Structure 1
Amino acid sequence: MAAMATDLPQQPVATSVEPSNMNSGVKVLAESTDLKSIPSEFSFVNEPTGSNSDSIPIIDFSLLTSGNPDQRSKVIQELGKACEEWGFFVLVNHGIQETLMKATIDRSLEFFDLPEEEKRKYESKHVSDPIKYGRGSVITTSDKKIFLWRDFIKSYVHPEFHCPDKPQNFREIIFEYAERSRFVARTLLQGISENLGLEEGFIEEALKLDSMFQLFAANYYPPCPQPDQAIGLPPHTDHGLLTFLIHNEVAGLQIQHNGKWFNTNSPQNSILVNTADQLEIFSNGRYKSVKHRAVVNNQSTRISVVIPNGPAPDAIVGPASPLVQRDGRPLYRPLKYIDYVETQLGNPVDGKVNLDYAKIQDN
C-alpha cells in the first residue's frame, strides 16, 4: 500500500433540477391516471431485454463457514472463479433471516409511500449529506441531462449510522440488516483474501474493515408506460468492494458479461452480489468490477435494496503489495476511499469514470 492518495478529478456535481412538467417524484408521476407516455426529460432509448444463463455462479455461504476443510476449500475456489469470470454471484444460505429481509423491503416501500413533504426533508443539499432523497439524473455525451425512472433514499449506515426517522421501525430494521450484511461481507472477503493467496488478516488490516463503509440505498422503480424509452439506472460500476442487492421479486437488475446483457434471476431469500471497483483495484485487476444496469417494466413496481460494502472511509486503497510483487507492477494508483465514493456519488452515473482514472496507463 502506498502512503499517499492521488487526487480524483474534480467533475461537475449533479444538480437537483426538476423536469419542467414534474413537481414531485417519479412515483407521483407514474401514478398520474392520464400518463400514456414518458416526459421527454426521461428519454433514454435502450433495449431492456436481457439473455438468461444457467452459468451465473451460485455461492453457498454455509460452506464458507463450514468446519469441513474440503467443502470450504472448494467454495473458496468457486468464489474466486465467480469474481474473476463474472464479477457477480448469487449468494444462498447466507444466514440472514428471511423475515428481516422482507421487513427491509416492506419498510423501504413504506418510506416511498410517505407524503412528499416528509420525503423532501431528506433532499440532498450536498454530496456528503449522510441521508439523501432524490430522483437522479445522468448527463449524456451531448451534455443533455436525462432523468432516471426511479426515486431513491440513500443513507450512510457504517461506521456511523444514519437513517430517516419514518416509517415506524425503519431505523431499527435497517440497522440490523446492515449489521448482518456486514458480517456476511467480511466473511466473503476473508474467503476472497485466501483465494488471492494473501496472509490471514491481510485484507482486514489493509482495508480497515472494522470501520468498513456501508451505504444503504432503496430504489423505487414504478411501472413505466414506455420501458424501452427510459432507464432505472444506466450501465455503471459500483464504488465499493462487494455490493449486496435484494428486491421484491420483480426482476430488473442486468449484468454485462462478455459484451452481452444477462438477467439476474435469484432464488427466494438469496442475495445478488457484484464485485465493485475497490476489489478490482485491490486484486490488481484479477477480479473485475462488473457493469450492471436497472431496467424498468410497464407492469409492476420494483423495489431494490442495495448495500455497498467498502473499505474504511479513510483507507488508502491500492493493489495489495503481495500481488504487486507477484504481478511485477501495480495496475492502479492508490486512492483514499471516501474521496472515491463522494466523487462517484456526486457525478452523473457514467460507466467506469473513476475506475478508468485509477488505472495506470502503459507508457
Structure 2
Amino acid sequence: MAATAPMIPSNIADNSSVKTLAESSTLSSVPSHFAIANDSRASHCDSIPIIDFSLLVSDNPDHRAKGLRDLDNACREWGFFVLVNHGISESLLKDIVDVSLEYFELPEEDKRRYEANTVADPITSGTGSVITMANQKINLWRDFVTSYVHPKFHCPPKPHRLREVLVEYSEKTRSVVRKLLQAIGENLELEKGYIDEALKLNSCYQLYAAHYYPPCPQPDQAMGIPTHTDHGLLTLVVHNGVAGLQIQHNGEWFNTNSPQNSFLVNTADHLEIFSNGRYKSVTHRAVVNNEASRISVVMANGSAPDAIVGPAEPLVERDGRAYYRPLKFLEYVENKRSYQHLGKTILDSMKIQDDD
C-alpha cells in the first residue's frame, strides 16, 4: 500500500497560514492537502537579457537605439528581462520587501479579514490552491496578499507603514512601466501616443501582490505557484535575494537571477495580444526550498480595466489578419482567475485559428 501524506499537526488550525504551519516544530513532511509531486529542476543561463533603462531614456541617440534594440530582442526572444538603472531608489525597493514581510508577521485574525471571496475583492489574502487534472484540490506552499492600487488605491490598514510605502512604490513603478511601454510602441512602429490612447494608460490597472514562501520540508512534494502566464502587459518583481522564480524558454526551464536593485520583468498575456503575437507571454513558476524563506513583491501592470484589448490595428493591417480576439481587460482578468485547473490557459482560447 502506498504511503499517504501526513495531516496537519494537531496543534495547528486548519485555516492557519503556511508560515504558521512551516514554523511548527512537529512538521517533518508536507501535509496531504499540499502534497503534489513536481519536478523543479532548471538550468542556469548567462544569456537572460539585461535591459539598461538609462539607455531607453537617454538623450544620446546611439545609446537609445541600443536600448530599443535590446528591449525588442528581449520581448521577442525571451518574454523576460532583468531591468537595471531604472532610477528607483534601493531604499524604496528594500522598504517594499520589508513592509510586505511585516504583513505576513501579523496575527492570523488580521490576515483572515481578507480571505478571498470573489475576484472583485480589492484586497485578498490567503494561501491559494489549484485543481489538478484529476479534479483534486491542492493548496499552494505560500501565503499571499494582493491589493488593487490603480486606478483606485486600496491597501490593508496593517502594517501601518504599508500604505505610505506602497503609494510611493506604485507611483514610481507605474512611471517606469509607462516609459517601457512607450519604447515598446516605438519598437512596434506605432505612432507616438498610440499605445497610451489605445490602452487608456492614464487609468491603467495596477495590482500589488506579495508572496511569502516559507521553507518546505519536501520541496519536491509541494508547489509555490504552478506553471502559468500573467494577465496584463508587464509584470515587475523584486525579492529578498532568495531565488525561486523559473521561466520557460524554448521548452527548457531556467532559474532567474537578478543583481541588487534590479527588477525581474516579464511580458504578459495582453502584450502578446496587443502585439498580435510578436511578443510572447512568458511561462513561469515559483518553486520552494527547504532552507530559507523567500518573499517576492509583484507589481502587475495592465491597460485600463474598461479598455478593450485586441491586436493593435496597424499591426493587423501589416499582418493581414488578427491572431487574437479582443476582450475587455477586466473581463479577461476575471476569466483568467477562474482557470484554476493545471494545464489550461485562457490565452490559448483567445487565439484565432486558421479555420475560425
Q: TM-score if structure 1 supplies the norm length? A: 0.93
Task: Say which of 303, 309, 330 aligns to 1:311.
Answer: 303
Letter in 2 for 1:96: I
Which residue pairs with 1:238 in the alignment? 230
Q: Which runs of 5+ in 2 are unaligned?
A: 1-6
Which residue pairs with 2:179 in the alignment? 187
Do the aligned partners of residues 274 and 19 (structure 1) sit closer, same or farther apart at CA in structure 2, a change above 3 Å counting? farther
Do the aligned partners of residues 356 and 246 (structure 1) sit closer, same or farther apart at CA in structure 2, a change above 3 Å counting? same
1:249 aligns with 2:280: no
Q: 1:266 Cα deviation (Å)?
A: 0.3
Distance across 2 between alignment mates of 1:292 and 1:23: 28
1:71 aligns with 2:63: yes
1:35 aligns with 2:31: no
Distance across 1 between alignment mates of 2:209 and 2:105: 16
Which residue pairs with 1:86 in the alignment? 78
User: Aligned-pair RMSD on alpha carbons?
Assistant: 1.4
Displacement over 6 Å in runs of 4+? 18-21
Task: Say which of 306, 328, 331 aligns to 1:339.
Answer: 331
Q: What whole-Å deviation, never above 9, does each CA across 1:251-274 have from its counterpart, x for those lacking one? A: 000000011110000000100000
Distance across 2 between alignment mates of 1:213 and 1:23: 31
Letter in 1 for 2:277: G
Q: 1:70 Cα deviation (Å)?
A: 1.2
Which residue pairs with 1:276 in the alignment? 268
1:358 aligns with 2:350: yes
Letter in 1 for 2:224: G
Which residue pairs with 1:122 in the alignment? 114
Q: Is the 8 A contact 2:133 2:341 kept in 1?
A: no
1:274 aligned counterpart, secondary structure = strand
Which residue pairs with 2:286 in the alignment? 294
Q: Is the 8 A contact 2:305 2:329 kept in 1?
A: yes
The percent identity for this pair of structures is 66
Distance across 1 between alignment mates of 2:271 and 2:343: 16
Distance across 1 between alignment mates of 2:90 and 2:338: 33
1:324 aligns with 2:321: no
2:113 aligned counterpart, secondary structure = helix
1:122 aligned counterpart, secondary structure = coil
Q: Is the 8 A contact 1:234 1:349 kept in 2?
A: no
Which residue pairs with 1:99 in the alignment? 91
Which residue pairs with 1:4 in the alignment? none
Q: 1:349 Cα deviation (Å)?
A: 6.2
The worse-fitting range, judged by mean Cα deviation, of 154-163 and 346-355 is: 346-355
Task: Say which of 134, 137, 141 aligns to 1:145.
Answer: 137
Q: Is the 8 A contact 2:205 2:301 kept in 1?
A: yes
Distance across 2 between alignment mates of 1:350 and 1:175: 34
Q: What whole-Å deviation, never above 9, does each CA across 1:311-351 have from its counterpart, x for those lacking one? A: 00000000000100111100000000011112223442645
The worse-fitting range, judged by mean Cα deviation, of 344-353 and 41-50 is: 344-353
Letter in 1 for 2:34: F
2:125 aligned counterpart, secondary structure = strand
Q: 1:110 Cα deviation (Å)?
A: 0.4
1:157 aligns with 2:157: no
